[in-house]
Amino acid sequence: MNTLIKSHNDKMNRLVNVSQARRSVELDFFTHASNKYRQFINSPSSYNPNEDESLLNKVKDYFIEEAQDPLEGVIAKQTKLNIDIKNLTQTQIKKDKKYIDNILID
């Protein structure tokens, strides 16, 4: 009986670990983008006392919409690479990775 309980607990722990790892990979994009955005906003060269707050919100909303685009968004491309990489061609994989890197680096 103890062996059965131990194997069940081991299986549940493995599932939890896989789930947490997957979640952290999916959140890496948001964390990186958020850190870059925060660093840009808090840098001394970005301060403008005459800046319109609504413009800042428009840019942020546009960035979020672009990232969440179901066909060409970064999130869709990362998900496709993580889930369906076996069915993609090498050129498509390289193209998607280059696009994601360009978004994250800029």
Is residue 63 helix, strand or coil? helix
| Residue 64: predicted pLDDT | 83
| Residue 49: predicted pLDDT | 67
**Confidence (pTM):** 0.45
Residue ranges of domains in the chain: 2-105
First-to-last CA distance in the chain? 56
Asked whether 92 and 85 are in contact (CB, 8 A), the reply is: no
Q: What is the DSSP string of 19-46?
A: HHHHHHHHHHHHHHHHHHHHHHHHSGGG
State how far Cα 53 lies from the chain centre.
26
Q: What's the number of CA atoms in the CB half-sphere (13 Å) around residue 9? A: 6
What is the mean pLDDT, run by run of 10 residues, along the chain of 106 residues? 81 80 72 80 70 77 83 83 85 87 72
| Residue 47: predicted pLDDT | 64
Q: What's the number of CA atoms in the CB half-sphere (13 Å) around residue 35? A: 7
